[in-house]
Amino acid sequence: MSSLVLFAGGEDISFLILGPGITTGANTNGVVINTTANRFRAGFARYALDLHGNGAIANNLFLRALFADTTTFWWTARIAIAQNNGSTVAGNYSWRLNDSNSISRLRLRQNSVASQWFTVGANFIVEKVNAAGTATTLGTGTLSGGFTNTGANPDKLDVFVNYAVAGQLTIYINNIQVFAFSGDITTDGQTTLGQLDLGVFMTGSSNSCTNAWSEVIVTTRDSRNMGLVTQAPSAPGNTTTFTVGNVSNVNGNTTTQNTPDYSTTANQLQQYQVGQVVPSGSFSVVSIVQHGQVTLGSTGPQHIEFNVRTGGADYFTGNMVPSTGWTLQTAIWDNNPSTSAPWQVTDVPINSTFFNIGYKSIT
């Protein structure tokens, strides 16, 4: 059975970063790890990925999420936008949906220049685009009717896509519908999409405007009531037999290959307890998604399996084949493998050997 979740991530490991990459400081073009209070939901995320770009590079700076080719889906994200000597720039692509060959097919483009646009309300255009780059307008709208923040709290953006001739594209902000189109949203006979690019809403000469993204999900179900909790490794788990394994290797805010966990012998297992409790409230767990950046050595184990430990037993994915370069590997667990039923919040306690995440080296 296919998973309901096509992509879920909110940290740098989850995305391809197009443009200058991870930078340090608000006045530098690129993506900044933003830990400022209220730029993200602290009970859910550890930080936001904040895109900083002046007008010259705004359309070359994106967070790219990859997912399986799909026709009908939702995507959702939290976005905090704050103005500091900045404005919208006509022509900014604030988000794009591409096919699996990285050809943009749908996009939201800013259509006016406005200082503090979330206050005065800037217009936008939704376009479909063909492989030659020719855009056809599907409609226009304004975002100010739905956005409520001035950078104080992240707003929720949800988009429904039925990528078909008799298709549909609907945009919600904080559950308020701000755009709807029914009809042909395809180009060149393309019938599926497989990439989401998250871009810049606001730019400025100082590059200090906040475009802080978090809790990004692509799913085949209605996303309007969905959120994403990041549970990073917090302590050694039940079994720790990798040749080198340490929680500090795998729980950093930014990805690094300088000090990885690694295995030189097949069938070694490395498990970790997790931090970040699921926030209190009436929540259910749709899926557990594991992300790991993995590479393959010229000798030693040639495969990897992701693992969860629950109900006193270990469960594994099938063999995954890493490449010789660092690439993202993902495992999605829609159900608790111990019970074959949907996960319960009580199934994922923090700082406990009852629930672990991990991985195993395979010949």
Please give the domain boundaries of the chain with CATH numbers for all domains.
Answer: 5-219 (2.60.120.200), 233-362 (2.60.120)
Lowest average pLDDT, out of 4-18, 51-65, 147-161, 180-194, goes to 147-161
Residues 239-263, mean pLDDT to the nearest whole number: 95
pLDDT in tens, 115-133: 444 443 467 899 999 999 9
Q: Phi/psi of residue 171, each to 5°? A: -120, 135
d(CA 23, CA 281): 36
Lowest average pLDDT, out of 112-121, 131-140, 232-241, 278-287, goes to 112-121
The pLDDT confidence band at residue 199, using thresholds 50, 70 and 90, is: very high
Q: Has residue 54 got a pLDDT over 60?
A: yes
- Predicted pLDDT at 123: 79
Residues 166-193, mean pLDDT to the nearest whole number: 96
First-to-last CA distance in the chain?
27
- Predicted pLDDT at 5: 97
Average pLDDT score, the chain: 90
CB-CB contact of 315 with 359 (8 Å): no
Lowest average pLDDT, out of 26-30, 81-85, 120-124, goes to 120-124
Tokens of 355: 């629930």
pTM for the structure as a whole: 0.94
The continuous run of DSSP H or E covering 248 comes out as helix 247-250
d(CA 95, CA 69): 18
DSSP label at 278?
P
Contacts of 193 (CB under 8 A, 6+ apart): 69, 70, 71, 73, 97, 98, 99, 100, 105, 106, 161, 163
- Predicted pLDDT at 133: 96
Amino acid, res. 206: S
Q: Has residue 149 got a pLDDT over 70?
A: no
- Predicted pLDDT at 112: 63
- Predicted pLDDT at 350: 95
